[in-house]
Amino acid sequence: MLGDEAIAQGAIDGGMSGIYAYPGTPSTEILEFVQHAPLAKERNIHRLWSTNEKTAMECGLGMSYAGKRVMVCMKHVGLNVAADPFVNSAITGANGGLIYTIADDPSMHSSQNEQDSRALAKFALIPVFEPSNQQEAYDMAYSGFQFSEKYKLPVMLRITTRLAHSRSGVARKEVKPENSVKLPENPTQFVLLPAIARKQYKDLLKKQELLEMESENSVFNKYIDADNKSMGIIACGLAYNYLLENYEDGKVPYPVLKLGQYPLPKKMIQRMVNECDSILVLEDGYPVVEELLKGFLGIGINVKGRLDGTVPRDGELDPNIVASALGIKQEFGSDKPKIVENRPPSFCSGCGHIDTYSAMNEVVDRYGRGRVFADIGCYTLAALPPFNAINSCVDMGASVTMAKGASDAGLRPAVAVIGDSTFTHSGITGLLDAVVENTPMTLIISDNGTTGMTGGQESNAVGKVEDICKGIGVDPNHIRVITPLKKNHEENVKIMQEEFEYNGLSVIVSRRECIQTLKRRNAMKFAKKMD
């Protein structure tokens, strides 16, 4: 099973009644797995996509309020969108078991940054589980609900791309029954009025000591002693595997603390500090543990890791990086020949975005490039040659609001490009800002009817785009719908030109089905016919 699939299976077997998520690499396969799991169908586990990560997390919190076990999944940057419910849910606490599975993407394989969600969990005072392999991922999801219910707290299951998208055997446990609906014992538990919140925040602070005790005794945290005390190694999550890889039969000559549960187990770390001359911290993501141990001035413990250059400051770990940190000699194969060229991702042949951008570029060129604000999705690929069509990609929905800001500053025409799924995720509120001021700008909604980049999940925008625009007050005369096909090129150019010239807010819906979902649909039709 993929790490993502192991988590989904663990959650189902652990008695989950609902999963809420918005697609985002590398977390997408978790909910997808639940959608295809027979037991999920049999139990009617909630498993539809949410509109964004914030709505997903709030639905999760509601299901927890009602006493049932629930998982909420997203990629790391999705947690920024859901930060408000995330931080506050530590103070409300949980009722039914509540797990937030957050998938970080060190090395930015498919992301804008490589932020480390452990830092946000620490900020919110939420306990974290970090698996080192697929079996632990299953086990943590399976037992995480119980842990959450024991402390009446949401827990974070933090994974990285490598674990999410790597496959290995997983042994399942006995399937647990679901919880029945049961309201919180304290009817004001979820009411964060200041007077209540102050009291609950104190409770949350008090719980930290108990959580630390749990970490000391956790099966996921292991102190493995060894003779060579010149160095002790703290290996978080997957880093433990890279460490073992570098020694015959996994026999590390130094004491090792294998870390899979936070807050940090103080006694275990104290022991390592007492017994070893120095400490090497191996962690995927930010130097979260390392910074804590090192302290601001670095004058206490001798800590090595990302901050002193023993390990590179950024990027994903791998067995070779860990070998270098350990001073192990390595022999690589021959260098990559110079003739090997980069092969960046590109639009699929026949993709509707291509025709949208071809028309748009022709019109934009009449004014000069540098005025197109885009968003997160397949259509971001237009930043690359031969299109070089877009000038921004920051966060979900930022195309609309950045175009508005640039228009406010006097840039005319100002153009935003967003996909249908990203529009409903976070574009609508920004568009309302532009409606209120009738901001001169044109929003192109490149509508392929799916969440394409993550593999074609259902888009909550389908069938609603024009109505949403009209509903929040965009002038219907300036909501134009076009079909991005080569044969419509001249007409599409003309329409774009008209709306770019309009001194107010306009929306162009450029609609054609994603070529990938179309292919899949046709293949299924064909298969049905054959049956």
Partner 1 sequence: MKTDIILAGVGGQGILSIAASIGMAALKINLHLKQAEVHGMSQRGGDVQSHLRISDKEIASDLIPKGKADIIISVEPMESLRYLPYLSPTGWIVTNTKPFINIPNYPELENVMNEIKKQKNYIMIDADSIANELGSARSSNMVMLGAASPFLNISFETLEQGIRDIFGRKGEEVVNVNLAALKAGRDFAEKNR
* Interacting residues toward partner 1 by CB under 8 A: 2, 25-26, 28-29, 109-110, 162-163, 165-169, 238, 241-246, 249-250, 318-320, 323, 330-337, 339-348, 378, 381, 385-386, 453-455
> Cβ of residue 481: shortest distance to partner 1, in angstroms?
26
Nearer to partner 1, 298 or 345 (CB): 345
C-alpha span between 181 and 177 (Å, rounded): 13
> Cβ of residue 154: shortest distance to partner 1, in angstroms?
27
> Cβ of residue 337: shortest distance to partner 1, in angstroms?
5
> Cβ of residue 159: shortest distance to partner 1, in angstroms?
12
Nearer to partner 1, 163 or 414 (CB): 163
Nearer to partner 1, 43 or 519 (CB): 519
Beta bridge partners of 415: 372, 442
- Dig out the tokens for 408 from the structure: 């406010």
Query: Hey, is 223 helix, strand or coil?
Result: strand
C-alpha span between 379 and 354 (Å, rounded): 9
CA dihedral (191, 193, 199, 203) positive or negative: positive
> Cβ of residue 362: shortest distance to partner 1, in angstroms?
21
CA 8 distance to own-chain centroid: 16
C-alpha span between 309 and 307 (Å, rounded): 6
Nearer to partner 1, 371 or 425 (CB): 425
Nearest to 467 by CA among 438, 495, 447: 447
C-alpha span between 366 and 9 (Å, rounded): 54
List CB contacts of 60: < 8 A, sequence separation 6 or more. Answer: 18, 20, 70, 71, 72, 98, 100
> Cβ of residue 82: shortest distance to partner 1, in angstroms?
20
C-alpha span between 101 and 129 (Å, rounded): 9
CA atoms within 13 A on the CB side of 400: 27
> Cβ of residue 394: shortest distance to partner 1, in angstroms?
16
> Cβ of residue 228: shortest distance to partner 1, in angstroms?
19
Nearer to partner 1, 29 or 290 (CB): 29
> Cβ of residue 354: shortest distance to partner 1, in angstroms?
12
Buried b or exposed e, range 213-240, using 16+ CB within 10 angstroms = ebbeebebbebeeeeebebbbbbbbbbb
What kind and span of H or E run contains 372?
A: strand 372-373
Sheet holding 256-259, edge to edge: 222-224, 256-259, 232-236, 279-282, 303-304
List CB contacts of 312: < 8 A, sequence separation 6 or more. Answer: 306, 321
Q: Are 393 and 383 in contact (CB under 8 A)?
A: yes
- Is omega for the bond preceding 26 within 30 degrees of 0, making it cis? yes
Nearer to partner 1, 243 or 431 (CB): 243
Nearer to partner 1, 38 or 333 (CB): 333
Nearer to partner 1, 334 or 477 (CB): 334
Nearer to partner 1, 133 or 261 (CB): 133
C-alpha span between 186 and 152 (Å, rounded): 12
> Cβ of residue 332: shortest distance to partner 1, in angstroms?
4
> Cβ of residue 161: shortest distance to partner 1, in angstroms?
8
- Dig out the tokens for 453 from the structure: 């980049």
Nearest to 19 by CA among 69, 66, 55: 69
> Cβ of residue 12: shortest distance to partner 1, in angstroms?
21
List CB contacts of 440: < 8 A, sequence separation 6 or more. Answer: 407, 412, 413, 414, 502, 503, 504, 505
Nearer to partner 1, 1 or 479 (CB): 1
Nearer to partner 1, 274 or 342 (CB): 342
Nearer to partner 1, 137 or 495 (CB): 137
